[in-house]
Amino acid sequence: MATLKKTTRKKPVKHSISAQETVGVLGLGIMGSAISSNLLKAGFDVIGFDPNPVCQKRLAKAGGRVAKSAAELGKQATYIISSLPSANALIENAKAIASSGKKGLIVAEASTLDLDDKAAAKKILDAKGIILLDCPLSGTGAQAKTKDLSIYSSGQSAAVKKMEHVFSGFAKANYYVGSFGNGMKLKLMANLLVAIHNVSTAEAILLGKNWGIDPATTVKVLADGAGGSRMFSVRGPVMVNENWDEATMKVSIWQKDMKLITAALAQTNTPAPLFAASQAIYNAAMGAGHAENDTAAVYDVLRRMSKLK
């Protein structure tokens, strides 16, 4: 791996963006909408594409422009941030962008997807002189709204450097981690930790409640101590308020990430007993009807297991 390079966000700067430096956002879901909103606030000209009319209206309301297709996005943008839900969506949109034939376009692929699928998309775009970077994001949808994201950028270093001013418009830090694909490796490592910390947060809060300690007090006190974690700080309050209906990472989507981590562990013969134990809890969340809820709903699973009403 290349020497780690980190660039952090400085004080907000209003950019004077020319028409040739328009930033496109491909996929306007939870992450994509937050990214586009922050880029608009930072002064960028933003154009986005998503087949969902609700997502389109949200972008237009925020002040962005809506493209009719990924191909149109490729024609108008100098840089594209791709945040997509599946490998099929990535390949389909890569073909559409490639059809624009805009040599020199840089696409930062920020989704959490299998490395082989990202490599396949890269091959499609390479043929047209379009650069694909592997740039997954570390952070939840709630964190994305406040620019509390870290980017694990990998691929052509010169292209990453060209996009640094764009990255600073929606993230707090960018870590350049070397060759294409290293970003996804770091992202899966991060998500392994997230999976465990999310469940351990629920365990600690539930233990306190069973002991008669107010959950809100638990979060306030422990978040600032040695046992705290980012997931404890981010998802602890959601568990306390039981407002997991407002999902920033749906349990159903998280299952995709869990499968990717499981495959990576098997491929590298890496033992991960804590991660394996957490999988059963997320599976139970799916069975308990929490598929569309935030992953903080694992608290409800453990509460039912303890028979605490």
Q: Name which residue leads in pLDDT, 301 or 102.
A: 301
Give me the pLDDT at residue 100, please.
Answer: 84
Listing DSSP states for 157-204 in one string gives HHHHHHTHHHHTTT-SEEEE-SSTTHHHHHHHHHHHHHHHHHHHHHHH
What does the block give as tokens for 89? 């969506």
**Tokens standing for residue 223:** 């978040």
Instruction: Return the DSSP state at 27.
Output: -
Q: Are strands 5-8 and 173-176 parallel, antiparallel or unpaired?
A: antiparallel
Q: Quick one: what percent of the chain has pLDDT higher than 70?
A: 93
* Closest of 122, 131, 82 to residue 102, by C-alpha: 131
Q: What is the per-residue pLDDT for 142?
A: 87
| pLDDT at residue 14 tops 50 | no
Domain range 188-306, CATH class: mainly alpha
Beta strands in the chain (DSSP E): 5-8, 23-26, 46-49, 65-66, 79-82, 106-109, 131-134, 137-138, 150-153, 173-176
Structurally, at CATH architecture level, domain 5-181 sits in 3-Layer(aba) Sandwich (3.40)
Q: Are 60 and 103 in contact (CB under 8 A)?
A: no
Q: Where are the domains of the chain?
A: 5-181, 188-306
Please, how many CA atoms are within 13 Å of residue 217, restricted to the half-sphere of its CB?
7
223-246 pLDDT, tens digit per residue, is: 989 999 999 999 999 999 999 999
